[in-house]
Amino acid sequence: MSQTTRLTDGRKSFEVKKYTFATEVIPRLSCHDPECEERIANGLPVVIPDVNLVASARHWNIDYLHDNIGDGKFMTYFSSSKKFKYYDDKKCPNVKSFKKPMEQEELTFDDFVQKINKGKSKGQRCYLQQTLNETVGKNIVSDFLGFNWNWVTAQQKKNSFGPLTNNMLLIGQEGNITPVHYDEQENFFAQVYGYKRFILFPPEEFPNLYPHPTYHPCDRQSQVDFDNADFEKFPKFRNATGFETIVGPGDVLYIPIYWWHQVESIPIEGHTISVTFWYKGRPTPEKVTYPLNAHQKVAMMRNIEKMIAQALNNPDEVPEFMQNMVLGRYT
Ligand SMILES: O=C(O)C(=O)C[C@H](CCCc1ccccc1)C(=O)O
Ligand SMILES: [Zn+2]
């Protein structure tokens, strides 16, 4: 295995792959610690080990879910590598040369369990990623109602988050990786079973992470492959510096809106079960204060890119247009 480094979740320590960039550890603070509140208020990541957000799901495992989750359908992704690079199906027509980095299929939970058992033999990995909905069985409903809604709703209110958009159930195989991307929502990420490594970068690192264009199926995802970075194409990736942690059962990681993150199910620790709590971002303040902060600039870049792609009415013309506008003039 290439160079490794050791990381702890506060209880166990893990050997993880060392990447080319430096990282600092994400603080792990009690939900009763004023500094924890402060970090969330300031849009900074924090690991919270004692909030019991999903303690009512502490007994969740594959068998329990299989017996109780009901006969609904679960979106499941399949990849021939360890990477599960998300893509937006609706944007595929914009990039003719785009090759889907993974397949997707809606399965019953029973089919999914069979796939994870069979998949191992055929060298194909799978990742269940499905919004929890009303098709789940009554025991799951009562576990869901048992989540610490008081705490998370209090956080939503005091930090002026928008509405809860959804809770996604994630079940991954050991070694699965969700490559580095950012989301446009606030996220309290609750780890239920198994261990996940998170690598985070603040929105200021946008220039070092080279996201795909907004019309690209992999909008919001970095073009840089951490396992094989092309430093010619992406020279500023050398300057990237991030934060990282390991989350284990019961931990909650606050992932601030627009923060980049890569998620790895630790290779030898078995499958992982997680639940996300995604909230729309804070409403834009009436009074804009200057200078604009990094995530306001990311939002601006996204709006400008979308406007240009729409005005040209042809994604293929955008690269040349952007280069003509900037190269040699703003460089
Ligand atoms: O919670 C987050 O934000 C994560 O990135 C968690 C990540 C899976 C997310 C899959 C996904 C990515 C983009 C759109 C919808 C779904 C993991 O845990 O592997
Ligand atoms: Zn994400």
Q: How far is the CA of 13 from the centre of ligand 1 (A)?
A: 24
The pLDDT assigned to 2 comes to 72
**Half-sphere exposure for 139 (CA within 13 Å, toward CB):** 10
Res. 121: pLDDT tops 80: no
Determine if ligand 1 sits within 6 Å of the CB of residue 178.
yes
The predicted-structure confidence for 192-202, as pLDDT tens digits, reads as follows 999 999 999 99
For residue 1, is pLDDT > 70?
A: no
- pLDDT confidence bin for 311, thresholds 50/70/90: very high
* pLDDT confidence tier of residue 284, bands split at 50, 70 and 90: confident
ipTM of the predicted assembly exceeds 0.85: yes
Largest CA distance in the chain: 62
pLDDT band at 269 (very low <50, low <70, confident <90, very high): confident
What are 45-76's pLDDT values in tens digits? Answer: 999 999 999 999 999 999 999 999 999 999 99
How many alpha carbons lie under 13 Å from residue 270 in its C-beta half-sphere? 8
Burial class of 237 by CB neighbour count within 10 A (0 to 12, 13 to 18, 19+): buried
| Nearest residue (CA) to ligand 1, atom 9 | 178
* Calpha distance 160→146 (Å, rounded): 24
Confidence at 268, pLDDT banded by 50, 70, 90:
confident
**Neighbouring residues of 326: CB distance < 8 A, sequence distance ≥ 6:** none
- Tell whether the model's pLDDT for residue 237 goes beyond 60: yes
219 CB under 6 A from ligand 1? Answer: no
Ligand 1 closest atom vs CA 178:
19
Q: Tokens representing 309?
A: 């792609």
- DSSP states of 21-67 as a string? SEEEEPPB--TT-HHHHHHHHTT--EEESSS-TTGGGTT--HHHHHH
- pLDDT beyond 80 at 128: yes
User: How far apart, in Å, are the Cα atoms of 15 and each of 8, 81, 129, 169, 223?
Assistant: 9, 21, 26, 26, 26
Look at residue 65 in the predicted model and tell me its pLDDT.
98
Residues 286-302: what's their mean pLDDT? 95
